[in-house]
Amino acid sequence: MSINFDSWRQLPAAQQPEWPDRDELEKVVAELKGLPPLVFAGECDKLKAELAAVARGEAFVLQGGDCAETFSGATANDVRNKLKTLLQMAIVLTYAAKVPVVKIGRMAGQFAKPRSKPTEARDGIELPTYRGDMVNGFDFTPEARVPDPWRLLRAYHSSAVTLNLARAFTRGGYADLRQVHAWNQDFVIESPAGKRYEQLARGIDQALAFMRACGADPNEFHTVEFYSSHEALILDYDHALTRIDSRTGLPYDVSAHMVWIGERTRQLDGAHVEFFSRIRNPIGVKLGPTTTPEDALALIERLNPDNEPGRLTFITRMGAGKIRDHLPNLVEKVTASGATVAWVCDPMHGNTFEAPSGHKTRRLDDVLNEVAGFFEVHGALGTHPGGIHIEFTGDDVTECVGGGLEIVEDDLARRYETACDPRLNRSQSLDLAFRVAELYRS
């Protein structure tokens, strides 16, 4: 295995910012190269082993967080609320579906966005699109929208802050199973999903009390493993944070445990696929409805030629209306090739539409329908529906319609806070977790 990880520079890289000043970029990159890793290669390997269990059908992935994290969102409150929602969803899945859940945040690094259009117009003014806090500013002003390479450094520090909080919350007692009720306290009264969760938590309490009475109190009840992930879009950033692992002599992108390639940057002859082929992290690739089985097989050949279990996760995002037509052929051909991949369903990105108010939104019903289709397809083929990949937040935002609290299109303006795509709120996320648990059991 070659340790050269610069080869991507010779290839076309889609969706890269046009930095106004290359010298400034070089200064930032030099600084990033001297900074400590955010994660360790051994942790990435541990996640890879857990994803291998997912590919074997023995565990389930829960991957989620903001579409776009923001620097201002790296606060104790925001991070805790997201983790709380993720933990509640994981508990529902573990308890109701009886399956080990691999918990991966779209957190601590999800700061860059691919865009379908280079510019956007409002009130007759046209400006470059927002590309994530790692690149430019969200404000609709010419100044904010200029790419600023020093934002790469802020992305590193915001990731460090977020990961530190996440590690403290998940290891320092907050994620202790005895807290199952506490996570729900502010939530139970007003929401149907919260009430349903409370019932389940009572069952867990009883099981815990029984175990304690038997003298069993395993470590696993007191902490959880939490992993970070992001779309590795801006190659100057992820490359600057790639280090040679002292144990194995191999390169790892130490900015996150897992990184994925987006739907817009998975060109076989492009720089992203080349860069990803060189790093040893567990990796994902998003596959949209135009993906052919040949594309999928070629990606496997490029990204996991040795068929290492847990190395490659395919995150399909077909859309509720397409998944039942498009997914079977992909799964069938990949399975027939003998390749080992984990299949994860992103039920968000194929189901976005614009409401009359102009808000980009998604219907929870479409999200649930795509997940159901994902389970149907894998059920029919005898393959394992390995997990879900979602955009959610721990706050009571009104960005997606539907759910137990029945958000309608007229509600969207009330709390529409996302910096990019619409996220499920906490109640909708729990609704989804209960549905997935049902599907998994049946």
Binding positions for ligand PEP, rule: CB under 6 A: 67, 114, 231, 262-264, 286, 317, 349, 421
Identify what 114 binds: Mn ion, ligand PEP, none; CB under 5 to 8 Å per kind.
ligand PEP
Which residues ranging from 187 to 246 are in contact with Mn ion (CB under 5 A)?
none
Q: How far is the CB of 67 from Mn ion (least distance, A)?
A: 3
Report the residue number, 236 or 421, with the smaller CB distance to Mn ion.
421
The answer to whether 414 is a known ligand-binding residue is no
Structure tokens at 405: 């609290």
- Written as one letter, the residue type at 272 is H
> In this structure, what token pair is assigned to residue 15?
């969706």
| 421, 422, 429, 437: which one binds Mn ion (CB under 5 A) | 421
* Size, binding site for Mn ion by CB under 5 A: 2
Interaction partner, residue 317 (Mn ion, ligand PEP, none; CB < 5-8 Å by kind): ligand PEP
Counting other chains too, the contacts that 171-177 makes at CB distance below 8 Å and 24 or more residues apart are: 171/223, 173/222, 174/80, 174/83, 175/83, 175/87, 175/222, 175/223, 175/224, 175/226, 176/221, 176/222, 176/223, 177/204, 177/208, 177/221, 177/222
Ligand-binding site membership of 278 (annotated): no
- Terminal Cα distance for the chain, rounded: 43
Q: Is 115 helix (H, G, I), strand (E, B) or coil?
A: coil
The DSSP H or E segment spanning 23 is helix 22-33
317 marked as binding residue: yes
Assign 261 to helix, strand or coil: strand
37 versus 114: smaller Cβ distance to ligand PEP: 114
167 is in an annotated binding site: no
Nearer to ligand PEP, 47 or 67 (CB): 67
Name which of 350 and 387 has its Cβ closer to Mn ion.
Answer: 350
CB contact at 8 A, 341 and 313: yes
**Which one, 236 or 263, has the nearer CB to ligand PEP?**
263
**Pick from Mn ion, ligand PEP, none: which does 262 bind, CB < 5 to 8 A by kind?**
ligand PEP
Residue 413 CB, shortest distance to ligand PEP, in Å, is 22
Answer yes or no whether residue 25 interacts with Mn ion by CB under 5 A.
no
Please state, in angstroms and rounded to a whole number, the distance separating the CA atoms of residues 159 and 109: 5
Which tokens is 50 given?
Answer: 């857990």
Residue nearest to ligand PEP (CB): 262
Residue 415 assigned ligand-binding role: no
How near is the Cβ of 102 to ligand PEP at its closest, in Å? 18
Could you tell which of ligand PEP, Mn ion, none binds residue 57, using a CB distance below 5 to 8 A set by kind?
none
- Residues 53-92 within binding reach of Mn ion (CB under 5 A): 67
Strand blocks (E) in 138-281 = 227-231, 242-244, 251-253, 258-261
Q: Between 44 and 67, whose beta carbon lies closer to ligand PEP?
A: 67
Residues that bind Mn ion (CB under 5 A): 67, 421
Binding residues for Mn(2+): 67, 349, 391, 421
Binding residues: 67, 106, 263-264, 286, 317, 349, 391, 421
Binding residues for phosphoenolpyruvate: 106, 263-264, 286, 317
